[in-house]
Amino acid sequence: MISKTKIKGDEAEALYQAFMISKGYIVCKNVSDQGCFDFTVTDLDGNTTLIDVKSPARRKNSKQGFRNKRSLTPIQKKLKVKIKTVFLETTTANGETYNRGDIYEME
């Protein structure tokens, strides 16, 4: 049986991929589930970004509402991977409301 975490991750990735495709980007999925990024996004000028998508991790009894500080691994830092958090449901956190499909970019 597939875990709920895996299903949430796959759903978040699919939403982000569809969003980027709708914006005219070329999206190529990493074939390894164990890789340090989920896929590449390339614009029509040939600029490529490595993307790792996360769905928010809920925190009980937290004012913040979700854990958004995901640290890059050393290899992700070296490769300049960008982490994108994709919301799967309406969530209020950090004084802001995020709707399904909204994207929060890690800095």
Kindly report the pTM of this predicted structure. Answer: 0.79
> What share of the chain has pLDDT > 90, as a percent?
40
Calculate mean pLDDT across residues 19-33: 91
In this prediction, residue 69 carries a pLDDT of 60
Task: Assess whether pLDDT exceeds 70 at residue 68.
Answer: no
CA distance 98 to 41: 23
In this prediction, residue 33 carries a pLDDT of 73
